[in-house]
Amino acid sequence: MKFKLPRNIISNNVFRNVLYLVTLALAVSYIINEQNLALISLIVFACGIYVMNKSIVIALLVSIIVTNLLLSMNYLKEGLNIESDIKKAQTELTERQIRGARTETETETETETETETETGT
């Protein structure tokens, strides 16, 4: 199944050059943001579609769209990001400790008020 775009879009050098520039910008941003899986998927999709269709414009266009869709749906999330996982766990732990300390002080004040009302002081 070949997907065909109108000939004037495929043969348009300006459109092709803009597509090259967008692909290069995405690749650089994936490298900077350390999204290696996104970069690899962009390259694999582009190569695979180019082998099937022999049109670089269609290959780049579809690979950009598919890669960004997968990124937005969090399918290309990096597997091991230990530092962020550790920070997330630490913040959750401190929040639990703060909530636990608040509930302990609230129960202490409640028991103190109950004992004061019972003793009448």
Question: Tokens 């899986």 correspond to what residue?
Answer: 37
Residues 6+ apart with CB under 8 A from 46: 23, 59, 60, 63
Given a cut of 80, is residue 36 above it in pLDDT? yes
> Which region, left, alpha or beta, applies to residue 46 given φ > 0 means left and ψ of -120 to 50 means alpha?
alpha
Query: How does the average pLDDT of the chain come out, rounded?
Result: 79
Q: How confident is the model at residue 65 (pLDDT cuts 50, 70, 90)?
A: very high
More confident residue, 94 or 104: 94
pLDDT at 58 over 60: yes
Overall pTM > 0.75: no
Q: Both tokens of residue 121? A: 């002081």
Q: Phi/psi at 77 (nearest 5 deg)?
A: -75, 135
Give the N- to C-terminal CA distance of the chain in Å, as an integer. 88
Long-range CB pairs of 47-52 (<8 Å, 24+ gap) are: 52/2
- Three-state secondary-structure class, residue 53: helix
In this prediction, residue 68 has a pLDDT band, given cuts at 50, 70 and 90, of very high
The confidence score (pLDDT) of residue 87 equals 76
Q: Is 18 a residue whose pLDDT tops 80? A: yes
Cβ–Cβ < 8 Å for 62, 22: no
Write down the pLDDT at residue 66.
Answer: 94
- Whether the CB-CB separation of 46 and 8 falls below 8 Å is answered with no
Residue 79 scores a pLDDT above 90: no
So what's the pLDDT on residue 29? 93
Tell me what pLDDT residue 42 has.
93
